[in-house]
A and B are shown apart, each in its own frame.
Chain A
Amino acid sequence: MAKQKLLEVKNLKQYFPAGRGEVVKAVDGVTFDIYKGETFGLVGESGCGKSTTGRTIIRLYEATDGEVLFNGVNVHGKKSKKELKELNRKMQMIFQDPYASLNPRMTVADIIAEGIDIHGLAKTKEERMQRVYELLETVGLNREHASRYPHEFSGGQRQRIGIARALAVEPEFIIADEPISALDVSIQAQVVNLLKRLQREKGLTYLFIAHDLSMVKYISDRIGVMYFGKMVELADAEELYRNPIHPYTKALLSAIPLPDPETERTRKRIVYDPAQHGYKDGEELEFREITPGHFVLCSEEEYKRYRAMYA
């Protein structure tokens, strides 16, 4: 079965003015596809542009340059209200901070049903509440919770409310921006299991943005590694962990602390220095395929070397 592209990101750029005529190139020419039904993990350090990429895809920011195609339709550019609404229904987002992302003055029912109301997905009040109850149960809460306010819930429960809100409009694609990093370890596992179950049941596609690499590996089918606004490596999750090629990826992987004292005692950390590439001025860096499905940002010369080593 050929994999169907759900989302195509082409040479996406997002620049922010930094004053005095300078610009910050938060996302600087990123290209990747996300296939239907998969989880695409995006990792990198803070400031590398991974969250900006997610937010630009869903058009929280207007892209500086490049294209985002969702089911073949361009997300950016001029759109009628109706077209935009349709796109917004299919793409939803789950945010990092479950404390800041829920309006404290709205009840859980109103938070979850906001999308249902906007898109007119329920004809009667009863139907609307019925949907809310179903959603609450789907995410492991119960119907009594509907009339309460966000402050009455713990972090993990709030994140479940955020997930229910995203699911309310029956999206195809969910961008989860660090959805578990604010939660305790024992609660993280609950939320990750929930996300995986929902994916199985509803055929959802995820863009999972995180800096916790072991969780990203667990949940993702493919992973992209970002560094300073560029994607430096992209591969299947297994492949990326087994055969990292770009020196930055190697450094990143060597820095994850593993819950295993024996390995930790003998591990060597690798430090990445961007100067180590020794790129000459004007050398063209391109995202090249080293082995099938495994892409690395490299120069022509590095490409030959990587090919010789890995292909």
Chain B
Amino acid sequence: MEKILQVNDLHISFDIHAGEVQAVRGVTFDLYKGETLAIVGESGSGKSVTSKALMRLLPTPPSRIKQGEILFEGKDLTKLSEKDMQSIRGAKISMIFQDPMTSLNPTMTIGKQIMEAILKHQKLSKEEARKRAIELLQLVGIKNAELRMKQYPHQFSGGMRQRVVIAIALACNPKILIADEPTTALDVTIQAQILELMKDIQKKLGMSIIFITHDLGVVANMADRVAVMYAGKIVEIGTVDEIFYNPKHPYTWGLLASMPSLDHKDTELYSIPGSPPDLLNPPKGDAFAPRNPYALKIDYELEPPMFQVSDTHYAATWLLHEMAPKVEPPAIVRERMKRFADIVARKGGKPRG
């Protein structure tokens, strides 16, 4: 498959009064054409900072890309001038945000806001842009598009506003759509509609999606591949089946086990003890070690490298080292693992999302 974006060893820090917050500490991943890559993690894990860096939306100062590269169409986005970046941002890489209430301008009609994005990047007349805007509204499932063009954001419900935001993001047929928690502020029934819509549009337009969320249910629904972030690093990456049915990192185990499944009730929920580390002073060794019931002595000394599990599956935990002791993951995770062999067999060979 064709790689559309490559992120190599990205480090991003914020210089604040108290010192340097190392928000992203060496992130590497590829994005393939037409796929959906979900990035999951808790608040503060660096998932939003990573995605904003792809769009160069982080204010400098206080933020600073310390090292690493973001390769897109043969260019390193970390080195582009603001002017060059403007021809990519919104045109080739587009983004939708969590809160549809604040990402639209309350004083402009919806039509004007969509046309703004079109006129900025494409050589179209106003009339052509208007036609295109109507098409876009129809594409995202808004009825009476002509009338809706003249309305203001407050005349739309939350779900409808998020559709408008998606329409704006799609205005220039982007190659990559970054969706940062696009459905977190919405109700489940509306969320289901928006997710369906995004999948539909992806099929039609063939773009790649980076989907940032902390909701593993949404990930299971949307993703082809999943990257799990913790304390500014990707700790595990693989196809959606590998992450959900054959997870290797204890943090991924913890995340999966702490969700109540619909048929477990009387057992106590598995919970990851403690809270995430302070990235002002990242701990020595594996940042997850203090919360990890499976931590080995070496975890406190040395950071684990990425171990390869399959062609598509990597995890950064010393448990995968040949000298590591064998451990039993939590019961809920063991049950999931039992299903992995079946799923692989059914799909014939390598599981692909």
Q: Which A residues form the contact surface with B (CB < 8 A)?
A: 45-46, 154-157, 184-190, 192-193, 196, 211, 213-215, 217-218, 237-238, 241, 251-252, 254-264, 269, 271-272
Among B59-67, B86-94, B188-196, the stretch in contact with A: B188-196
CB pair A193 B262 closer than 8 Å? no
CB pair A261 B196 closer than 8 Å? no
Known contacts A186-B42, A257-B217, A258-B220; is-contact A45 B271 (Cβ 8 Å) = no
Residue of B whose beta carbon sits closest to that of A156: B275
CB within 8 Å of A: which B198-224 residues:
214-221, 223
Residue of B whose beta carbon sits closest to that of A181: B184
CB pair A214 B259 closer than 8 Å? yes
Which of the residues A154, A255, A261 comes within 8 Å of B192, measured between beta carbons?
A255
Known contacts A258-B220, A259-B219, A269-B196; is-contact A186 B258 (Cβ 8 Å) = yes
Check if B43 is an interface residue, CB within 8 A of chain A.
yes
CB-CB < 8 A to B191: which residues of A?
255, 257
Check if B314 is an interface residue, CB within 8 A of chain A.
no
CB-CB < 8 A to B217: which residues of A?
214, 256-259, 264
CB pair B42 A185 closer than 8 Å? yes
CB-CB < 8 A to B223: which residues of A?
261
* Min C-beta distance of A269 to chain B, whole Å: 5
CB-CB < 8 A to A255: which residues of B?
188-189, 191-192
Which of the residues B187, B192, B272, B343 comes within 8 Å of A186, measured between beta carbons?
B272
* Contact code string B264-295 (vs A, CB < 8 Å = 1, else 0): 11001111110100000000000000000000
CB pair B269 A261 closer than 8 Å? no
CB within 8 Å of A: which B130-169 residues:
158
* Min C-beta distance of A281 to chain B, whole Å: 27
Check if B37 is an interface residue, CB within 8 A of chain A.
no
CB-CB < 8 A to B221: which residues of A?
257, 261, 264
Known contacts A46-B187, A214-B259; is-contact A187 B220 (Cβ 8 Å) = no
Residue of A whose beta carbon sits closest to that of B351: A261
* Min C-beta distance of A242 to chain B, whole Å: 10
Interface centre among B218, B219, B269 (most CB of A within 10 A): B269
CB-CB < 8 A to B174: which residues of A?
none
* Contact code string B230-260 (vs A, CB < 8 Å = 1, else 0): 0000000000110011000000001110111
CB pair B244 A257 closer than 8 Å? no
* Min C-beta distance of A212 to chain B, whole Å: 8
Bound form: Cα–Cα A258–B216 in Å: 8
Interface centre among B188, B191, B255 (most CB of A within 10 A): B188
Bound form: Cα–Cα A263–B255 in Å: 19
Q: Which 7 A-B pairs have the closest CB atoms?
A: A257-B217, A218-B260, A189-B271, A189-B258, A259-B216, A186-B272, A45-B187
Interface centre among A190, A196, A258, A261 (most CB of B within 10 A): A261
* Min C-beta distance of A186 to chain B, whole Å: 4
CB pair B275 A262 closer than 8 Å? no
CB-CB < 8 A to A193: which residues of B?
268-269, 271
* Min C-beta distance of B271 to chain A, whole Å: 4
Residue of A whose beta carbon sits closest to that of B259: A259
Residue of B whose beta carbon sits closest to that of A192: B269
Known contacts A189-B269, A272-B189; is-contact A241 B262 (Cβ 8 Å) = yes
Bound form: Cα–Cα A250–B275 in Å: 36
Known contacts A184-B43, A260-B220; is-contact A269 B214 (Cβ 8 Å) = no
Which of the residues A184, A218, A261 comes within 8 Å of B241, measured between beta carbons?
A261
CB-CB < 8 A to B214: which residues of A?
184-185
Known contacts A258-B220, A261-B244; is-contact A215 B275 (Cβ 8 Å) = no
CB-CB < 8 A to B339: which residues of A?
262
Bound form: Cα–Cα A254–B262 in Å: 12
Q: Can you list 22 A-B contacts with CB-CB less than 8 angstroms, sorted by A residue number?
A: A46-B158, A46-B187, A157-B275, A184-B43, A184-B214, A185-B259, A186-B42, A186-B272, A187-B42, A192-B260, A193-B268, A237-B265, A251-B189, A255-B192, A257-B218, A258-B217, A259-B256, A261-B240, A261-B245, A262-B245, A264-B217, A271-B189
Bound form: Cα–Cα A192–B267 in Å: 12
Which of the residues B189, B254, B343 comes within 8 Å of A45, measured between beta carbons?
B189
